[in-house]
Structure 1
């Protein structure tokens, strides 16, 4: 149990700005093991975001509350996944060879493709959430689910695709080692767990577009760079989160 706590806290320390005990570190072996709790970290981040939304909604409009919720999740993670998405936009938008794409993605400066990508995906995320904001409790559940399930989809990429960057230059070292099947199963459990709290099991149909998103981006990454990097996983998480939010109104209209 102590080892599992260490794995979880390592994931929290690596993916968020939440303070952790000093005995938690970033050793490569522990980081690799911590991948099983990526989705659980998503539940934690989603809960923080949802909590901010719930409290703010008693004072502010839905739109302001949603913006505050999005800011809360970005602040909690230090824009970890958004940074990966922006770097991926710059890399695949401006590079035409594997080497050039990886060089651009490693560059900490934000380019035109990254700016446009961030504006587009954050705007779409806000509009989708605003459309879904029919009740406070439902929005709390949607936010938690979106953060957890999208991180599970990202862990599938880590499991199936080879890491293509040298370890010493990596920003996301857990992805440099082969993810264990056990870790993927545990991540999957925490990823889909919040979906059981919806009042309909039709919500599980959202897994179909999410898996299609994984297959498409996974093939795209493999075609251009031969595998994945941490930035690719971050990009997939962001896209999968938005796809989940966009899938819900379609499911409601077709099956409810």
Structure 2
């Protein structure tokens, strides 16, 4: 388990972890059951940072700083995929051209807008949460928000077909066992219930529901999922969770 967490840290963050992992692609596939645990630990780090900042600044401002810091810690790993996918999908081009756009390192108009919308929503819920939640509960929401990206990955790995070329990343995404995904999701549900209670659980199930049409859309379009569409779903999942959870909190479900 330790080496799995190290591998995830090397893959998903900018942290320099000088531990060599042999056959990392194979190790990744065999360690998916721990991916939400890694997300929770990373979230705990950011949650503690939020708690410290909230003693210096208002909770809403501290929330904004953590959302920004999360992008720095991860190196914008999923945000890049989010922008590339937006550029491709809203280009109104052929499927082959969409694939080329996703591989293009340049950022287009729709990619920029997608990033603006992501941060507008993610930061914008801060004042609403501050109005209805105490500091400790908001720190819990930070943990779940960060973990949600790893929940998204494990959800889409269920019987996943990789639309890219064989070999390489295909070895990492395909062939994940169902029991691994179940373990990852059960752990995530426990954390969500403990930290965000019923409102968080409902928001989690909303995420599970949107995963179905999302997956269907790209399987129909590309014949499977790519690394970019998988990464984009993590951002989509985080926003879905925040919108549903915040809405329920405002309605008094906290």
Report 1:61-80 matches (<5 A). Answer: 61-80=58-77
Deviation per residue, 1:89-146 (Å, 9 max, x gap): 1121225332211111111111111100000111111112331123210111111112
What residue is the counterpart of 2:165 in the other structure?
166
Query: Would the alpha carbon gap of residues 47 and 198 (structure 1) be closer, same or farther in structure 2, given more than 3 Å must change?
Result: closer
Query: Would the alpha carbon gap of residues 199 and 167 (structure 1) be closer, same or farther in structure 2, given more than 3 Å must change?
Result: closer
What residue is the counterpart of 2:11 in the other structure?
14
How far apart, CA to CA, are the structure 2 residues paired with 1:167 and 1:90?
A: 24
CA contact (8 A) 2:199 2:245 kept: no
How far apart, CA to CA, are the structure 1 residues paired with 2:122 and 2:233?
A: 14
What residue is the counterpart of 1:136 in the other structure?
135
**Aligned-pair distance for 1:244?**
1.0
How far apart, CA to CA, are the structure 1 residues paired with 2:220 and 2:93?
A: 11
Asked if 1:120 corresponds to 2:114, the answer is no
What residue is the counterpart of 1:182 in the other structure?
179
**Aligned-pair distance for 1:202?**
4.8
How far apart, CA to CA, are the structure 2 residues paired with 1:247 and 1:199?
A: 12
Deviation per residue, 1:2-43 (Å, 9 max, x gap): xx2222221221111223242225532112223222212221
What residue is the counterpart of 1:96 in the other structure?
93
What residue is the counterpart of 1:147 in the other structure?
146
The 4+ residue runs of structure 1 with deviation greater than 6 A are: none
What residue is the counterpart of 2:44 in the other structure?
47
**Aligned-pair distance for 1:182?**
2.4
Q: Please, what is the CA RMSD of the aligned residues? A: 2.2
**Aligned-pair distance for 1:199?**
6.9
Q: TM-score, normalised by structure 1?
A: 0.88
Query: Would the alpha carbon gap of residues 17 and 34 (structure 1) be closer, same or farther in structure 2, given more than 3 Å must change?
Result: farther
Matched pairs, number: 251
Query: Would the alpha carbon gap of residues 26 and 116 (structure 1) be closer, same or farther in structure 2, given more than 3 Å must change?
Result: farther
Report 1:202-217 matches (<5 A). Answer: 202-217=199-214
More deviation, 23-32/180-189: 23-32
Q: Which runs of 5+ in 2 are unaligned?
A: none
Asked if 1:238 corresponds to 2:235, the answer is yes
Q: TM-score, normalised by structure 2?
A: 0.89
Q: Which runs of 5+ in 1 are unaligned?
A: none
How far apart, CA to CA, are the structure 2 residues paired with 1:247 and 1:162?
A: 29
How far apart, CA to CA, are the structure 1 residues paired with 2:196 and 2:86?
A: 37
Asked if 1:81 corresponds to 2:78, the answer is yes
Secondary structure in 1 matching 2:89: helix
How far apart, CA to CA, are the structure 2 residues paired with 1:216 and 1:122?
A: 24
Query: Would the alpha carbon gap of residues 25 and 51 (structure 1) be closer, same or farther in structure 2, given more than 3 Å must change?
Result: farther
